[in-house]
Structure 1
Amino acid sequence: MLSQPADNYSDKSADKKVSLVLFHNDLRIDDNATLLKAATLASANNGRLLCVYAQDLADTLADKKKGQDYSFKQMGAARQQFLYESLADLDKSLQGLGNRLLFLTAKAETLLEDSAAESDTFAQLCQLIEQQAVTDICVSQTADYNQNQAYTILQNKYPQISWHVQSINTLFMTLPTEELPKSFTQFRKKVETNHDLLKAESDFEICPTSKVLPPMPDAMINSMANSDKYFSANQKIAEKAQQEPDFKGSKTFKGGETNAFRHLNEYFNSDAPSTYKTTRNALDDWTHSTKFSAWLANGSLSVKVLLNRLRHYERDVMANESTYWIWFELLWREYFYWYALNHQQQLFWFKGIAQHEPTTCFDKIRLEQWQNGATSYPIVNACMHQLTQTGYMSNRGRQLVASCFIHELGLDWRYGASYFEQHLIDYDVGSNWGNWQYLAGVGADPRGCRQFNLSKQTQQYDPKGEFIKKWQGNKTD
Structure 2
Amino acid sequence: MKTAIVWFKTDLRLLDNEALVKAIAQSDQVVPVYCFDEAQFETTTYGFNKTGNYRAQFLLESVQDLDANLRKLGSGLVVLKGKPEEEIAKIVLQYRAQKVFAKREVAYEEKQTEKKVQDALFKLRCELETFSTSTLYHAEDLPFSIKDIPDVFTSFRKKTEFDATIRPIFEVPTAITSPEIAPMEIPSWKDLDLKKPKKESRAAIQFKGGETAALNRLHYYFFETKQLSVYKETRNGMVGADYSSKFSAWLAMGCISPRAIYDQIKKYEKENGANDSTYWLVFELLWRDFFRFMFKKYQTKFFLYTGIQPEKPISKKASESALSQWINGKTDSDFINANMLELKKTGFMSNRGRQNVASYFCNELQMDWRMGAAYFESQLIDYDVCSNWGNWAYLAGVGNDPRKHRYFNIEKQAKDYDKDGEFRKLWLLEN
TM-score after normalising by structure 1: 0.82
Aligned to 1:201: none
- Shift of residue 102 of structure 1? 1.8
Q: 1:185 aligns with which of 147, 150, 154?
A: 154
Q: How does 1:82-161 map to 2 (within 5 A)?
A: 82-106=58-82, 120=83, 122-159=85-122, 160-161=125-126
Aligned to 1:447: 403
For the Cα contact (< 8 Å) 1:21–1:52, is it kept in 2?
A: yes
Q: 1:462 aligns with which of 394, 418, 425?
A: 418
Q: 1:301 aligns with which of 236, 248, 256?
A: 256
Q: 2:304 aligns with which of 331, 346, 349?
A: 349
Counterpart amino acid of residue 55 in structure 1: F
Aligned to 2:14: 29
Write out per-residue CA displacement over residues 403-444 of structure 1, whole angstroms, 9 at most, x where no aligned residue: 011011111111111111111111111111111010011111
SS at match of 2:129: strand
Aligned to 2:185: 232
SS at match of 2:139: coil
- Shift of residue 105 of structure 1? 2.8
Distance 1:122 1:423 in 2: 27
- Shift of residue 474 of structure 1? 9.4
Counterpart amino acid of residue 339 in structure 1: M
Find runs of 4+ consecutive structure 1 residues off by over 4 angstroms.
Answer: none
Gaps of at least 5 residues in structure 2 are none
Counterpart amino acid of residue 52 in structure 2: G
Write out per-residue CA displacement over residues 90-144 of structure 1, whole angstroms, 9 at most, x where no aligned residue: 01011111222122235xxxxxxxxxxxxx5553333333333332111112323
Aligned to 1:170: 135
Q: Does 1:372 align with 2:324?
A: no
Q: Does 1:208 align with 2:160?
A: no
SS at match of 2:428: coil
Aligned to 1:402: 358
Please report the RMSD computed on the Cα atoms of aligned residues, expressed in angstroms.
2.4
Aligned to 2:198: 246
Gaps of at least 5 residues in structure 1 are 1-15, 107-119, 198-203
Which deviates more, 122-131 or 81-90? 122-131
Q: 1:362 aligns with which of 304, 318, 324?
A: 318
Distance 1:353 1:473 in 2: 41
Counterpart amino acid of residue 246 in structure 1: K
Distance 1:165 1:339 in 2: 19
Distance 1:333 1:156 in 2: 30
Distance 1:314 1:323 in 2: 7
CA pair 459-327 structure 1, distance change in 2 beyond 3 A: same
SS at match of 2:130: strand
Q: Does 1:265 align with 2:265?
A: no
Counterpart amino acid of residue 185 in structure 2: S
- Shift of residue 157 of structure 1? 2.4
For the Cα contact (< 8 Å) 2:169–2:263, is it kept in 1?
A: no
For the Cα contact (< 8 Å) 1:85–1:255, is it kept in 2?
A: yes
- Shift of residue 382 of structure 1? 0.8
Q: How does 1:16-95 map to 2 (within 5 A)?
A: 16-43=1-28, 48-56=29-37, 59=40, 69-70=45-46, 72-95=48-71
CA pair 342-149 structure 1, distance change in 2 beyond 3 A: same
- Matched residues, number: 417
